């Protein structure tokens, strides 16, 4: 697996944003029946998740989060050197959504901005890229990571619709000569691409953009082979964490928390037992927010770790894994930092937000 150690990087702050609409177990009972809905909830640990309306994009959630974070950190808009936007649900095929967000946030035209198409591993990859950029001369990088998977899930698909929620996040990364080392480990196996995929809608499966070959009823919707994803996770995640700890010269006793991608409760509990990871070292947000793809790691930190991260330095291992297949982890010290917030986005037209207890 690829690995890197980067000095002088500080995670300066995190804000997350979620839509106001909530779907929960009662919603699923109406759609799928009580027996199936309750069994799914018990297995996955998901009680509710946030769902965007048809007018809200991932960029709207990330914009709200970024606008709040820049204000709270008192970062002048012209001091942001780069904006990285990571999602698999962008606004457009082109231009890059990062360009739209640069303008919308009022950042300088000297700000570099680009998109990355990654899902479950995206936050760790984004941290790695932002850290590399800061280590080579930039001072401030804004990492915007999120997805709205509900917009590519069929309402009747009982394997995906009750699993995925929507969220956007903003993370500020800055240079700090006093900061410790950040240790990254990453890997990829594209042989698993067909096990979690939106197959139609672009060019590989279309005669022209948006015109799928063959059965057009398939449409640009999500397909997931849960059993294969589970097998992949068990094969790759424990060695990934082991290698990351070795690179950092840490033991699990040194670690305050292992912040996992919130795939589903069954997978997370199985991993914890296999790695003998105490429950108090693995924070969970999946019960309240579901699987929010690339947003799960910062969202979990905001939802479950605000007290720890605002008052002390924490040794964290952040672990992303899934669609691609793609996986990555980082071991680094974080905190203390300003309050980690979760905002509720009412509607894109008004862009109003309400603070939600983190």
pLDDT (tens digit, 9 = 90+) per residue, 245-289?
A: 999 999 999 999 999 999 999 999 999 999 999 989 999 999 999
What average pLDDT score do residues 132-137 get?
Answer: 96
Give domain limits for the chain: 2-356
Cβ neighbours of residue 183 closer than 8 Å, sequence gap 6 or more: 3, 4, 5, 244, 247, 248, 330, 331, 332
CB 14 within 8 A of CB 302: yes
Give the pLDDT confidence score for residue 255 in this predicted structure. Answer: 97
Give the pLDDT confidence score for residue 213 in this predicted structure. Answer: 53
Give the pLDDT confidence score for residue 221 in this predicted structure. Answer: 86
85 against 213, higher pLDDT? 85
Give the pLDDT confidence score for residue 1 in this predicted structure. Answer: 79
Query: What b/e readout covers 338-352, taking b as 16+ CB neighbours within 10 angstroms?
Result: bebbbbbbbebeeee
Query: Residue 358: is its pLDDT beyond 60?
Result: no
Give the DSSP H/E element, type plus range, for residue 30: helix 25-32
Tens digit of each residue's pLDDT (9 = 90 or more) over 84-94: 999 999 999 99
- As a whole number of angstroms, the distance between CA 241 and CA 235 comes to 12
**Directed axis angle between helix 58-73 and helix 97-104, to 10°?**
40
Tens digit of each residue's pLDDT (9 = 90 or more) over 306-338: 999 999 999 999 999 999 999 999 999 999 999
Place domain 2-356 in its CATH homologous superfamily. Answer: Thiolase/Chalcone synthase (3.40.47.10)
Query: Residue 350: is its pLDDT beyond 80?
Result: no
Give the DSSP H/E element, type plus range, for residue 328: strand 326-334
- As a whole number of angstroms, the distance between CA 321 and CA 305 comes to 21
What average pLDDT score do residues 188-204 get?
Answer: 89
Give the pLDDT confidence score for residue 204 in this predicted structure. Answer: 80
Give the pLDDT confidence score for residue 16 in this predicted structure. Answer: 98
Calculate the average pLDDT of the chain: 92
Give the pLDDT confidence score for residue 215 in this predicted structure. Answer: 42
Q: In the chain, what percentage of residues exceed pLDDT 90?
A: 82
Give the pLDDT confidence score for residue 253 in this predicted structure. Answer: 95
Which of helix, strand or coil describes residue 206?
strand
**pLDDT band at residue 61 using 50, 70 and 90 as cut-offs:** very high
Tens digit of each residue's pLDDT (9 = 90 or more) over 153-171: 988 888 888 999 999 999 9
What average pLDDT score do residues 345-358 get?
Answer: 49
- As a whole number of angstroms, the distance between CA 231 and CA 229 comes to 5
CA distances from residue 167 to 72, 85, 145, 296, 331 in whole angstroms, order as listed: 20, 13, 9, 8, 24
Query: Residue 218: is its pLDDT beyond 60?
Result: no
Query: Residue 224: is its pLDDT beyond 80?
Result: yes
Tens digit of each residue's pLDDT (9 = 90 or more) over 3-50: 999 999 999 999 999 999 999 999 989 888 998 889 889 999 999 999
């Amino acid at each position: 697996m690829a690995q890197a150690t980067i000095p002088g990087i500080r995670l300066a702050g995190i804000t997350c944003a979620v839509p106001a609409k909530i779907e929960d177990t009662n919603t699923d009972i109406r759609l799928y029946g009580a027996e199936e809905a309750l069994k799914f909830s018990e297995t996955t640990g998901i009680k509710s998740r946030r769902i965007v309306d048809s007018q809200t994009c991932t960029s709207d959630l990330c914009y709200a989060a970024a606008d709040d974070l820049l204000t709270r950190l008192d970062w002048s808009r012209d001091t942001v050197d780069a904006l990285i936007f990571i999602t698999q649900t962008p606004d457009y095929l082109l231009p890059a959504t990062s360009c739209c967000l640069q303008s919308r946030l009022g950042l300088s035209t000297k700000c570099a901005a680009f998109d990355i198409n990654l899902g479950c591993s995206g936050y760790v990859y984004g941290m790695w890229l932002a850290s590399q950029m800061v280590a080579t001369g930039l001072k401030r990088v804004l990492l915007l990571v999120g997805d709205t998977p509900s917009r590519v899930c069929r309402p009747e698909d009982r394997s995906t619709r009750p699993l995925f929620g929507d969220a956007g996040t903003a993370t500020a990364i800055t240079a700090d000569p006093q900061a410790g080392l950040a240790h990254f480990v990453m890997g990829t196996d594209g042989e698993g691409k067909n096990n979690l995929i939106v197959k139609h809608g672009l060019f590989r499966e279309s005669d022209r953009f948006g015109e799928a070959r063959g059965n057009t009823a398939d449409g640009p919707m999500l397909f997931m082979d849960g059993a294969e994803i589970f097998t992949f996770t068990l094969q790759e995640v424990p060695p990934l964490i082991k290698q990351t700890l070795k690179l950092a010269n840490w033991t699990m006793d040194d670690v305050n928390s292992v912040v996992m991608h919130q795939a589903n409760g069954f997978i997370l509990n199985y991993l914890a037992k296999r790695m003998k990871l105490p429950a108090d070292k693995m924070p969970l947000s999946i019960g309240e927010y579901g699987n929010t793809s690339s947003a799960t790691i910062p969202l979990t930190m905001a939802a479950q770790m605000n007290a720890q991260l605002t008052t002390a330095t924490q040794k964290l291992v952040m672990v992303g894994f899934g669609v691609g297949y793609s996986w990555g982890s980082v071991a680094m010290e974080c905190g203390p930092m300003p309050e980690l917030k979760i905002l509720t986005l009412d509607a894109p037209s008004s862009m109003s937000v309400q603070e939600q207890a983190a």
